[in-house]
Amino acid sequence: MLVYIVSFPLVIWFMVYMIFRKIMPKSVNTFKLVCDAGVFLWFYACAVLLETLVGDDVFWLLLAICCAIFPANAIWQRVRHEEVLYTKMFVHGWRLLFLLLVPLHAVLFTLGVAKEMIH
């Protein structure tokens, strides 16, 4: 099961999206809901791939980088002279995590496949 979660999170994410789309009412934005829930899936997949590529446990480093997004978002709101709303900061940071982890997973997966092909 671990291999499927790490190798094909897009397929699992899409299946969850289709299931939620069928069972949730039309008034609920299922795409945002599944993107928010998918951050855990992508984070786990990226952490496992990074650990496999590096050969050392770098989970805490990845977690620290991901947590740094929230204060950076607060600073960005302050620079734009907006009031820092913590709910808005959390939602924007969480969705930004989704947008950063998906391409990171693709890069790490490609590097992992290339590394295995070389050896």
pLDDT at 1 (0 to 100): 57
Cα(52)–Cα(74) distance, rounded to whole angstroms? 33
Q: How confident is the model over 39-96, as pLDDT tens digits?
A: 998 998 998 889 888 888 888 888 898 889 888 888 888 887 777 778 888 888 899 9
Q: How confident is the model over 49-62, as pLDDT tens digits?
A: 898 888 888 888 88
Q: Contact, 37 vs 16, CB < 8 A? A: yes
> Where residue 2 falls among pLDDT bands split at 50, 70, 90?
low
Q: CA of 63: how far to CAs of 69, 109, 114, in Å?
A: 10, 19, 25
pLDDT at 19 (0 to 100): 92
Q: What's the predicted TM-score (pTM) here?
A: 0.82
